[in-house]
Amino acid sequence: MNDFGPMPWPRAGPFLISSNPQRLDTLSLVIRKLLRSLARFAPGHAHGRGHARGHDPKIHKASQIGIDRRLVSSGAIRTVEGLQQAGYKAFVVGGAVRDLMLGLRPKDFDVATDATPEDVQHIFRRARMIGKRFRLVHVLFGPETIEVSTFRAAAGEDHETDAHGRVLRDNTFGEQHEDAARRDLSINALYYDPLSDTVLDYHHGVEDLQARRIRIIGQPDRRYREDPVRMLRVVRFAAKLQFDLESKTTEPIADLADLILNVPQARLFDEMIKLLQSGQAFLGLQQLRRYGLHHGCLPLVDMVLEPEGSEKEKQQALSFVKLALERTDQRVQQGKPISVGFLFASLLWCPVYRHWKQLEAQGSKAVPALHEAIDQVIDQQLDRLSIQKRVVADLREIWMLQPRFEKRNGQAPFRLLSHLRFRAGYDFLLLREAVGQAPEGLGAWWTEFLEAEGEEHRAELVHKTSARRVSPRSSRSESDAPEQTESLDGSATADTQEKSGRPRRRRRSRSAGQAQGGAEGDGGTGGAEP
């Protein structure tokens, strides 16, 4: 069975049609196609729908402006082909076209069409409708998902807005030139037809791409009021692509930056994730602060770029964040996955570390002090930014693992190696050691322990470490005594081991097996080690 194909004409008869909603929808589809075909011959529509007089785009030969059709996914081509065969207009649109012009292979493809979401569902066998604010259709081809949107009208008086002009609901369908006008940036308003090898450019997007320029479509102040997140987007794209920002585009941002406070926290969080995973994360944070957008986003930007403490502490904090983001950028550029939990753990760690050490200096024990420092910083962040619960849980675990890395006697290393977040915690430890926040040589010891060939080698490392810590006058060695360790919730646990300091063979075998899975399973998403 094909994914798309011609729809069968329903049998005549009012009873049959009215008693079968599917046939009624099919007849409606056929009628709309017929009316659309007739409209193309009407005065003022000589160029077809969306190309009325005064709205003609500039047409480029795709191969002549750097687009390689071989980089287009088969799913995107099949979606465009299926819609066009059904009598509709269809184009690859948005970031995919931009990336193709830059010689990059897009991660995903969006298609824009004059077919309604219901029409799209009728054409493709595997399609599902999503969204409330924007109704979209996801067309599935195996593991690939193509997102299909219907041309939308430019924002007008009939759109639902809040008191500040932010558009709340936008499901008004329109012409192609209107759809192009409502997009945010000129470089994201290009329509590519892989079948005819042409690109339709309504707002000089090709010219801006060639000039490496970020320019918003329309009046900047009005566009920012419609959706304040656009201010974050222009900054993010400028950092990601290392393009220049047009002065007219940036001019209103300083006066309108407070509108960010009216944006739902979930959208702010999503936009921050995109910025931090752009491949130019530190530059993106600097740009946010430059244009005064950081206050409405999250206080961590100030924490990152203007840390508190002595001059040494400030430099250490900046070095830590820059190193963490540089390694994240490397993973992005290599196409490796990024752990959001690790990312936020890196950004928020320095104020946690500073407060933790202050509490320890005041006499608090290490683990309870760390718990208190974590709670204080997270509460501060959640007041401004809706960090997802799973992300908060991940970063808590990464942080709470850090004191456990200093316990290298008895069974403690084997238990830690089997922890689900071991690899992320280990990567985090290496970052800390690189800036002087962890004992010198601790990371090297854990690297050797992790890469050791067999359990005997690991047990030998633990035994040597325990032996170095034994006092000559002690009647009972530290490795012989029950080891007191702190769990993630701060409670103490005790483990007994053999006098030799070697863990029991049964426990060693179990730990080694789990450790291998933990290292491999979490290593790809640790975010620190490229």
Active site residues: 108, 110, 184
**Which residues touch 331 (CB under 8 Å, ≥6 apart)?**
337, 338, 527, 530
* Cα angle value 131/71/527 (rounded, 5°): 65
Position of tokens 């309504």? 202
φ, ψ (nearest 5 deg) of residue 485: -125, 160
> Distance between CA 339 and CA 327 in Å, rounded?
12
**Which residues touch 169 (CB under 8 Å, ≥6 apart)?**
133, 159, 160
> Distance between CA 42 and CA 54 in Å, rounded?
16
**Which residues touch 295 (CB under 8 Å, ≥6 apart)?**
257, 302
Torsion of Cα atoms, 200 then 201 then 205 then 206, to 10°: 60
Q: What is the 3-state secondary structure (H, E, C) of 82-142?
A: HHHHCCCCEEEECHHHHHHHCCCCCCCCEEEECCCHHHHHHHCCCEEEECCCCCEEEEEEC
φ, ψ (nearest 5 deg) of residue 369: -65, -40
* Token pair recorded at residue 504: 């029991």
Sign for the CA dihedral angle at 59, 65, 67, 68 comes to positive
**Strand 198-201, strand 110-113: pairing:** unpaired
Distance of CA 187 to CAs 63, 177, 214, Å? Answer: 17, 15, 7
Q: SS3 for 152?
A: strand
φ, ψ (nearest 5 deg) of residue 129: -85, 140
* Cα angle value 231/233/239 (rounded, 5°): 110
Sequence length of the chain is 530
CA end-to-end span of the chain, whole Å?
44
Which helix or strand (DSSP H or E) is residue 245 part of?
A: strand 244-245
